[in-house]
Chains A and B, each alone.
Chain A
Amino acid sequence: MTVQDFIVLYNETFKFIEKNYGRDQVDDLWAVISREWCTHLRDLVAEKGMEGMNAYWGGNSGTLSREKAFYDIELKDGVFTITMDECPSVKEIRERGFTVYKDYCEHCIALYGPVVADYGFEMKSFIEKEAGTDNPTGKCKLVARKAGANV
């Protein structure tokens, strides 16, 4: 098996699970992935808080650069923001001729939200969709702040 095809398989995995076992099983898988796969993010946030988020996603060694995403990251006034201008996953799925699972973009907040919440941060995602459809445009924002903070 290869990671070169992973995103296409990942997308089809969600479709297969919803069709055969229901939407709640997709949520169940995401919860397990959050616990069992997101351990590096967990370690970084536990050690460095918001700067750990930047270490995970940002810079040359962060996952977004390594995935060649077109994005920006800002940490300002206690708010950590990823602005995704062109999600590499959504782009890859479409370019390879597949339909993006209707809730594909929800997996990010489902995976990362619970991890950062364990260290006192609240994370929200804002997903842009094509007008009148469930189709994601590949643009979104992921915003984290200290839970309860008035910033």
Chain B
Amino acid sequence: MREIQGNGRRQNGGGMDLAAIKEWFGLYNVIFNWFEKNHGEKGFMAYAAHIANTCYPEVIEDFKRGGLEAVKAYYEDLFHKDDGQIDSYIVDDVLTISVNKCPAYNFMKNSPNPHFIPTQKVCRFDEIVNGTLAAKSGMVFEQKYTGHNGKCIWEFKKTN
């Protein structure tokens, strides 16, 4: 067995921000399935609601301040970073985001891991989180499914 020494980033100085890795899409799926198996649909829904209500205070403030333009910019940035593809446009106080390539769905569909089978819970999680962010920002959210194939349409509408 060969010896390995100094195989790390110490020499680079540290202090860098964490970079996300795509395997975490699969980890979400494992966690969602665990919730449903151990605590049922009700447990999964309560978990998703808790995440939506806990993890996004800065995003909600940004949406409140910047309205639909801020929502559009937020999701364009996220989908770009996650290697997804969307079309987004605002017409008559409605933001439409057409998800043409869902990064979570595509990662899992192309993974050899047998536990990375994307289920409807992935879409449901997005629906709960986006719906909560919208509600807390003076908007309503609707997710329109176009078939469970990594494509869907999101709509954010202002309510005031």
Chain A interface residues toward B at CB < 8 A: 1-10, 12-13, 16, 20-21, 25, 28-29, 32-33, 36-37, 39-40, 49-51, 54, 58-59, 63-78, 83, 85-86, 88-89, 91-92, 95-98
CB of B144 within 8 A of chain A? Answer: no
Q: Convert B55-76 into 0s and 1s, putting 1 for each residue whose CB lies closer than 8 angstroms to a CB of A.
A: 1111000000000000000000
Given contacts A71-B10, A72-B6, 10 further A-B contacts (CB under 8 A): A2-B20, A8-B55, A29-B31, A32-B30, A32-B34, A33-B30, A49-B1, A70-B10, A75-B2, A76-B5
- Is B41 at the interface (CB under 8 A from chain A)? no
**CA distance in complex: A13, B55 (Å):** 10
Q: For chains A and B in complex, what number of residue pairs have CB atoms within 8 angstroms?
A: 156
Given contacts A5-B55, A13-B31, A16-B50, contact A72 B7 (CB under 8 A): yes
Q: Which residue of B lies closest to A90 (CB)?
A: B18
- Considering the complex, give the chain A residue whose CB is closest to the CB of B18: A88
Chain B contributes a number of interface residues (CB within 8 A of A) equal to 53
Q: Please report whether the interface of chain B is mostly helix, strand, loop or mixed according to DSSP.
A: helix
**Residue pair A54, B4 in contact (C-beta under 8 Å):** yes
Shortest distance from the beta carbon of A108 to any chain B beta carbon, whole Å: 13
**B7 adjacent to A58 (CB under 8 Å):** yes
B151 to chain A: closest CB distance in Å? 15
User: Does B91 reach chain A (CB closer than 8 Å)?
Assistant: no
- A9 and B51: CB pair below 8 A? yes
Binary interface encoding of chain B residues 1-32 relative to chain A, with 1 for a CB under 8 A from any of its CBs, else 0: 11111111110111111111111111110110
> What is the CA–CA distance of A10 and B133 in the complex, to the nearest angstrom?
19
A75 CB to nearest B CB, Å: 4
Q: Are A89 and B30 in contact (CB under 8 A)?
A: no
